Amino acid sequence: MRIAAGVEYDGSAFCGWQYQEHSPNVQAVVEKALGKVANHPVRVMCAGRTDSGVHAAGQVIHFDTDAVRSEFSWVRGSNSNLPPGVRLLWTREMDETFHARFRAQRRYYRYVIFNRPIHSACLHKRVSWEYRPLELPPMQQAARHLLGEHDFSAYRAVACQAKSPVRTLYQLDLRQQGPFIIMDLSANAFLHHMVRNIAGVLMRIGAGEAEPDWARQVLELRDRTLAGVTAPPDGLYFTRVDYPAQFELPGGADNPGAGGVFDFFSVI
């Protein structure tokens, strides 16, 4: 049978999601924990690979197994074998038409910027710190240039292996909450470092070092070397994945992880 699962993790202790033989990675610890519950080796497929240091509140995976276990047993059994920074949130039995990566329709990320002269000791590795005062309206104005379907060559890593740089960005919203600037994005898919490169461009604009139209100019040049710095991974969270309604997976407001993870930004 095929099992889908939701995964939450603190990425600061890992060199990304993807399996690497000589580096700590989220995929390896998840597969090991699931394998202990299944009593056989397990290989998982994820909705989207995250980079070193990037967190997830709503990663979705699937795996195939002959083991018959209840949803409770998959979740509790796996979590008892996972390190504290990784948790299974839910599981669902699926049919063979489900695929965590290829059936995903939209992916969502949140980037959290902590904007004050001194970094927070309590939020180390949880938020991206920017000491320069940032003005939100120019960042919001610049963000509008990036919405829609574009060639995002200038906003992806030089080493990105995606066959096409064309992506559709459905959402790029920015809001301020005390010292936090929160950026929410959704797209059909994201390129390597795409969110962090967008954040880097918008922060430079917010700091007054470039005009809002620079975001459009960077996009049209299609040259990564002209696009400025890549923002740190610390404040980046993979928050949600949308699938066709037929699969009836948790998502949005029903996501059992995202709400609790992000409520702390409202109370600090």
Phi-psi region of 55 (alpha: psi -120 to 50; beta: other; left: phi over 0): beta
β-pairing, 106-115 vs 55-64, is unpaired
Identify the bridge partners of residue 182 per DSSP, sorted by sequence position: 112, 175
Distance CA 143, CA 52 (A): 25
- CB atoms under 10 Å from CB of 250, counted, come to 18
Are residues 50 and 17 in contact, defined by beta-carbon separation less than 8 angstroms? yes
Catalytic positions are 51
Are residues 56 and 8 in contact, defined by beta-carbon separation less than 8 angstroms? yes
According to DSSP, residue 230 is labeled: P
